[in-house]
Amino acid sequence: MSTWLNELGVACALGVGKDAVAEALFTGDRSRVRATSGWIPSREIPLAAVDGALPALPPTLAATRDNRNNRLLYAAALEIEAPIRAAIARYGSARIGVVIGTSTTGIDEACQGIARFRSDGAWPDDYRYAHQELGASAEFLAEWLELGGPCFGISTACTSGARALLSARRLLRMGVCDAVLCGGADTLAGLPINGFFALEALDANGCRPFARTRGGITIGEAAALFLVTREPGSVALLGGGASSDAYHMSSPDPQGLGAVEAMRAALADAGVVPEQIDYVNLHGTGTEHNDAMESLAMTTLFPHGVPCSSTKSLTGHTLGAAGALEAAFCWLALRDGRLPPHAWDGDADPALPPLRFAAVGDRLPTAGPRRLLSSSFAFGGNNAALVLGDGA
């Protein structure tokens, strides 16, 4: 039973809306990663923030659901509101589910409220504990759209957005839903930014995946939302795979065994072999351990080489949204026939197995079927991979 990614709404540092994002993505625009102050005392760090004001939530939800994470998700949802409303009219609200991957939801607003309580001895009027609940973003969408289908959040660190797509497909295959809104959303927040800083995992010069001088991640924010159905469309979710090697709390299995297992499972689920993959969107965080593991996993599975890139030098690592955002980039690549470039200084780490990085101007084959793989790896050895391809 096929699963179709019929509609996409997206907002990230590259822009708000598919066309703005695509223009910056395919030209390799790294200007959206900027030195930013105010998050870590007495320091500027590179971050990838969404520029400009985000849309205000509907008045009926503003009192209980207003936080930056929901506003960013709302911006993505507004881009596809018309087809969402059409799906509600067609299938009925009880047959439409919501699955959103996230890692922090509204934790920044919650932390600000806790700080006020510690300083003043009283909670601020706008403090809502529910902002930080991991299902809060999914519940916000369901309340706004008055949906009655399954509604839940997924938080598996940096695979959350990818696993949301896998869960949506499962709901469709089980016959529980006729359509699912799924994806991921995470916004900049003091807790993860300072946490990664304490781990010495932030690159002071901006994320440079697989580079000789790479020094860690850059944190970004994003929301990517798909309307997924069984109705044929132009982009299909052909396969998915997941694994959990549980090698270490924060470091991946250095041999990449769990990563290879997840990617192989996705290929088998899609009914394709590695030689049929036209492009791989790498997890590519820019950390020493991830890039070493992933380059080894890639050469294990694709010894013949395959065009690939990490887009995190453009968008930052968007944490719980990353898997959905990078699936969105594959969706845009299939739509436009262009490959997301690997935007970096070109100085590869000679200690890593060489990869075939895509450059600005590279394109997908003109003749189909075209098959793209997007991989995501997370703390605790959690791995996920998706195969997207041409649809009807």
Residue 383 is part of a domain; what is its CATH number? 3.40.47.10
- Flag whether pLDDT at 39 surpasses 70: yes
Same domain, 260 and 111: no
386: Cβ–Cβ under 8 A, 6 or more apart, which residues?
Answer: 162, 165, 166, 237, 239, 240, 266, 323, 327, 330, 373, 374, 375
| pLDDT score at 248 | 65
pTM of the model: 0.96
Task: Kindly state whether residues 239 and 269 are assigned to the same domain.
Answer: yes
Residues 45, 174 share a domain: yes
Q: Please tell me whether residues 77 and 217 are part of one structural domain.
A: yes
What's the domain range around 291?
Answer: 235-390
User: How much is the pLDDT for 381?
Assistant: 76
Query: Do 217 and 264 share a structural domain?
Result: no
Count the domains in the chain: 2
Residues 114 and 247 in one domain: no
Average pLDDT for 267-291: 96
Are 299 and 392 in contact, with CB atoms under 8 Å apart? no
Verify that 128 and 245 share a domain, yes or no. no
193 shares a domain with 177: yes
Same domain, 304 and 383: yes
Shared domain for 200 and 319, answered yes or no, is no
Looking at 205, 229, 253, which one is the last position of a domain?
229
Residues 235-261 have a mean pLDDT of 85
Task: Mark whether 241 and 225 lie in a shared domain.
Answer: no
Mean pLDDT over the full length of the chain: 94
Annotated catalytic residues are 158, 283, 317
End-to-end CA distance of the chain: 14
Helix axes 322-336, 18-26, angle to 10 degrees: 80
User: 264 and 176 in one domain?
Assistant: no
User: What confidence tens digit (pLDDT) does each residue in 111-139 have?
Assistant: 889 989 999 989 988 888 888 889 999 99
pLDDT at residue 161 above 90? Answer: yes
Q: Which of 194, 229, 264 is the last residue of a domain?
A: 229
pLDDT digits (tens, 9 = 90+) for 318-349: 999 999 999 999 999 999 999 999 999 999 99
pLDDT (0 to 100) of residue 166: 97
Residue after which a domain boundary falls, among 211, 229, 247: 229
pLDDT (tens digit per residue) in 184-224 = 999 999 999 999 999 899 999 999 999 999 999 999 999 99
Q: For position 132, what pLDDT does the model report?
A: 85
